[in-house]
Copies of this chain bind each other. A is one copy, B any other.
Amino acid sequence: MRSPEATVTEATAAETLRTLLAGQPVGIVGLGLMGGSLGLDLQALGVVVHGLVRREAVAERALSRGLASRVGTDPALLQDCGLVVLALPLDLLLQPPSSLVAALPPGALVIDLGSVKGPVLTSLQPLLPRFVACHPMAGTAEAGVEAGLAGLYAGRPWVIAPSGQESPGDLLLVEALARAVGAVPVRCDAGDHDRAVALVSHLPVLVSAALLLAADQGGSLGQDGFAALLRQLASSGFADTTRVGGGNPVLGALMAEGNRDSLLQALALYRRQLDRLTAAVEQQDWPGLKQDLERSAEVRPDFL
């Protein structure tokens, strides 16, 4: 539910966005969850959207879903766009195909929506005269051309990670874009972003996956029927703790690859805390364990 103030901010931002685009279409490369959702929201604001995809079948489906007014596989679609959004998987952002780079109109502002920012700045900024690195932190469990939905970005943080080379006008346009779709722009250093998402987004995936793997292995080590008992007794607590570990394996591995250094630091921090809790159980230090659990219960609300 958006507040009346938020609605005014969105309307003002949409006006700013339309003014800065001066009638030029927005090009979106990739019409999966992120790109498709953005296409729906932008068109609802009266912005013309052109979509570039890799396969004809996807183009047809995207068109019939109304994700953009023109969709195709021919890069010429981007020609008149004042803003191009790269809504692509991380591996393509980190090693952009030369055909993709060649397809981007030289005068356009280009942004990405990838989940790591330092490596993307390194890979894309040298190739593109006007580039702003973004990470809107929104998502669902879905992917592909059927996944895009209106309002995906509403109320979510939209990280903008400038390197210092961006023009103030380009940053203004990107902030207007974020606000116009209901998101909350958050400007921060790319390294800080990557360290932060390592801790609150990428680390949880591995922590949660390890729990699923441990429970599965524990089941196979027990007597006959133990694996079934384990599954029968798993309740909502287990379901919640393992949700992100049961997510898309390809995305999980890509995030780990793209944010390896920060993720390893986060894993080391996590390991120390797990060791600390384990030591309390081993040494039967119940007051110490209770104190640590009190601390974790105390800090959690700040993260919600």
Q: Which residues of A contact B (CB under 8 A)?
A: 137, 156-157, 159, 186, 188, 192-193, 195-197, 199-201, 203-219, 221-223, 225-226, 229-235, 237-250, 252-253, 256-257, 260, 263-264, 266-267, 269-274, 276-278, 280-282, 284, 286, 289-297, 299-304
**Residue of B whose beta carbon sits closest to that of A251:** B293
What chain B residues lie within 8 Å of A215 (beta carbons)? 199-200, 203, 299, 303
Contact residue among B211, B232, B300 (Cβ-Cβ distance under 8 Å from A203): B211
A269 close to B201 (CB less than 8 A) = no
With A207-B241, A246-B300 known as contacts, the answer to whether A253 contacts B218 (CB < 8 A) is: no
With A199-B218, A218-B266, A293-B253 known as contacts, the answer to whether A304 contacts B239 (CB < 8 A) is: yes
Shortest CB-to-CB span from A255 to chain B, Å, is 10
Contact residue among B210, B223, B252, B281 (Cβ-Cβ distance under 8 Å from A274): B210
With A210-B277, A267-B278 known as contacts, the answer to whether A245 contacts B296 (CB < 8 A) is: yes
A200 close to B235 (CB less than 8 A) = yes
